[in-house]
Amino acid sequence: MKCSISRQVAVWIVAAGGAVGALPALAADGKVAVVDFQRLAQESPQGKEVLESLRNEFAPRERTLQAQGQALKAKQDKLQKDAATMTDDQRTRAEKELRDGARDFERARGELQDDETARRNEQFSRLQRTLIEEVRGYAKAQSYDMVVSGDAVIYATPGYDITPAVLTALQARATTSPAAKPAAPPAAPAKPPGK
């Protein structure tokens, strides 16, 4: 799942990447922050909920597929063991049954992967919107002029990183009802040296 999170966030990073060129000029005149979206996705209650939801949703199908694979392997082992004592007709039937089972198994595995990918993309897209909304709200409340993704920044002092503060806000939001307004942002992180 970590790779999936990275790919989802990478799309947003590319979009934000154009702003990185303007960072030196803005840093001298404005208030700039860095946020680690991958960390937000992995450590926030909302991100953990998405991962758990996906695991729970697909676990029964994965167990069924695993059992189907084990049954197929057992049939293959039996055929290899008993092939010498089988009649040609029995062996032909057993081989056909094995081929049909392998084809059904591969089809079921492909369908599961397709369904998991589609659902993961849907869930992470929703999570991404939530995270971006929270970062924007926090940035506005703390009067930041620009927030860039940590993956697109080559170097930044820890004072620029607002990820812990946004995580705190996400955790506070998770403890409130879904209809509640976003939690008030925590105090701004320490100002970077020279600001």
Residues 6+ apart with CB under 8 A from 149: 9, 12, 13, 16, 34, 35, 36, 37
Q: Over pLDDT 70: what percentage of the chain?
A: 75
Most confident of 11-20, 150-159, 163-172: 163-172
Task: Kindly list the structural domains of the chain, giving each domain's residue range(s) and its CATH number in brackets, ordered by start.
Answer: 2-175 (3.30.910.20)
Tokens of 159: 């004072």
Is the pLDDT reported for residue 103 higher than 90?
Answer: yes
Q: If we measure between CA atoms, which residue out of 169, 191, 162, 192 comes closest to residue 36?
A: 162
Alpha helices in the chain (DSSP H): 2-17, 23-29, 37-43, 45-82, 88-141, 163-175
Which residue is associated with the tokens 């926030």?
A: 44
Mean of per-residue pLDDT scores for the chain: 80
Dihedral over Cα of 79, 82, 84, 89: its sign:
negative
The pLDDT value given to residue 14? 43
Which residue is associated with the tokens 């990185």?
A: 20
Q: What is the pTM of this model?
A: 0.64
pLDDT digits (tens, 9 = 90+) for 54-85: 999 999 999 999 999 999 999 999 999 998 89
At residue 87, φ and ψ (nearest 5 deg) are -75, 165
At residue 179, φ and ψ (nearest 5 deg) are -85, -10
Query: Which string of DSSP letters, residue by residue, matches 37-92?
Result: HHHHHHHSHHHHHHHHHHHHHHHHHHHHHHHHHHHHHHHHHHHHHHGGGS-HHHHH
Per-residue pLDDT band for 28 (boundaries 50, 70, 90) equals: low
pLDDT digits (tens, 9 = 90+) for 159-188: 888 989 898 989 988 887 454 444 444 444
The pLDDT value given to residue 189? 47
Q: Cα(13)–Cα(16) distance, rounded to whole angstroms?
A: 5
Q: Cα(68)–Cα(85) distance, rounded to whole angstroms?
A: 26
The pLDDT value given to residue 30? 79
Q: Cα(129)–Cα(153) distance, rounded to whole angstroms?
A: 21
